[in-house]
């Protein structure tokens, strides 16, 4: 190969982004070398014209996007990748200065001459440059999430194969489903699973039990009045935290007895509030009661006699609103 062809090979490596392993499947035959340089000159001439529009550069981008290989005079076919040039041409608005500088660099490289005696030196230098880590293709190890998602898809395909009777083709299915349908369906299933998991966690944190298991009382027999008396007894002994809990329970039972809401141990505090959406004033007052209870019972907020007295006032305000 002559030094001119070797210079061109270096230039085309630059155009291709120094890719050392490119598999070319050209949609059209490789461009002859002379035609390639002529196309480059014409593109440069049109880019620097003041009246060139983004539509013109987009058409040029389509032309360069179709050029996948160049045929050298000695018959060597060199794969090329013009994705960077195509991206510059398709930018709207395009950067005329940047395109001018890029195309000028390519055209100047065409005229670069390397003395025959210096060819081994430059070949060694090029080999050193291309051996740098940034020019190597590194196979990235999939993350744990990506590996989990891949296995989930495999199991999904296996399930579909069994569903359609293809038990002998695990991991493969003959039903022509578009990829985007499978992806959207899998994503929806994942979201539903996450929703029910989070909903269960939320219920475990803020769902109200009527009494503690160690209390030994029959919840079915507990009334609003009994819960209120229990709260008064506990507050008198200084157990304000548990007393506030029974005050909250007495409020729920009182609202249930009046038909305002239905007391259900499986409901969360926020679900109780949502049942009162049609009564915004009552919902606001009840929300204050729930807020104090959550901070004291779940947030372990310190509580004293004054805090308990304030909560009693909240409960009385709730009863008046109901």
Segment 139-151, tens digit of pLDDT: 777 778 888 888 8
pLDDT of residue 134: 66
Mean predicted confidence (pLDDT) in 136-164: 80
CA atoms lying within 13 Å on the CB side of residue 190: 12
What's the CA gap between 82 and 240, in Å, rounded?
Answer: 75
Helix (H), strand (E) at residue 78? strand 77-79
Comparing 189 with 45, which gets the higher pLDDT?
Answer: 45
Question: For the chain, which domains are there?
Answer: 3-135 (no CATH), 144-205 (no CATH), 213-321 (1.20.120)
pLDDT of 36 above 80: yes
pLDDT of residue 220: 56
Give whole-number Cα distances, 295 to 42, 241, 247, 255, in Å: 74, 10, 14, 22
Beta-carbon neighbour count of residue 267 at 10 Å?
A: 18
Least confident piece of the model among 132-136, 148-152, 154-158, 288-292: 132-136
pLDDT of 200 above 70: no
130 pLDDT band, cuts 50/70/90, is confident
Could you tell me the pTM of the whole model?
0.35
Mean predicted confidence (pLDDT) in 14-39: 61
Q: For 207, list phi and psi in degrees, rounded to 5.
A: -65, 140
């Amino acid at each position: 190969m002559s030094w001119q062809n070797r210079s061109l090979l270096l230039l085309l490596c630059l155009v291709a982004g120094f890719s050392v392993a490119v598999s070319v499947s050209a949609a059209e035959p490789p461009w002859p070398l002379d035609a390639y340089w002529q196309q480059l000159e014409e593109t440069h001439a049109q880019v620097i014209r003041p009246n060139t529009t983004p539509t013109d550069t987009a058409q040029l981008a389509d032309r360069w996007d179709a050029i996948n290989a160049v045929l050298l005079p000695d018959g060597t076919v060199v794969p090329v990748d013009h994705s960077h040039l195509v991206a510059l041409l398709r930018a709207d608005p395009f950067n005329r200065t940047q395109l001018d500088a890029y195309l000028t660099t390519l055209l100047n490289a065409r005229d670069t001459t390397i003395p025959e005696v210096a060819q081994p030196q430059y070949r060694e230098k090029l080999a050193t440059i291309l051996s740098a880590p940034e020019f190597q293709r590194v196979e990235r190890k999939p993350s744990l999430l990506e590996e989990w998602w891949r296995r989930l898809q495999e199991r999904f395909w296996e399930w579909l194969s069994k569903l359609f009777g293809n038990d002998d083709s695990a991991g493969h299915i003959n039903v022509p489903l578009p990829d985007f349908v499978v992806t959207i369906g899998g994503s929806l299933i994942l979201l539903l699973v996450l929703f029910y998991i989070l909903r269960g966690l939320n219920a475990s944190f803020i769902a109200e039990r009527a009494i503690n298991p160690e209390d030994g009382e029959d919840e079915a027999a507990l009334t609003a009045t009994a819960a209120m008396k229990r709260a008064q007894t506990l507050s008198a002994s200084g157990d304000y935290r548990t007393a506030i809990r029974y005050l909250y329970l007495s409020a729920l039972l009182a609202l249930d007895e009046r038909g305002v809401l239905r007391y259900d141990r499986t409901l969360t505090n926020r679900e109780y509030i949502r049942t009162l959406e049609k009564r915004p004033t009552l919902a606001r007052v009840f929300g204050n009661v729930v807020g104090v209870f959550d901070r004291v019972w779940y947030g372990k907020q310190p509580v004293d006699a004054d805090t308990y007295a304030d909560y009693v006032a909240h409960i009385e305000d709730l009863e008046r609103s109901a």
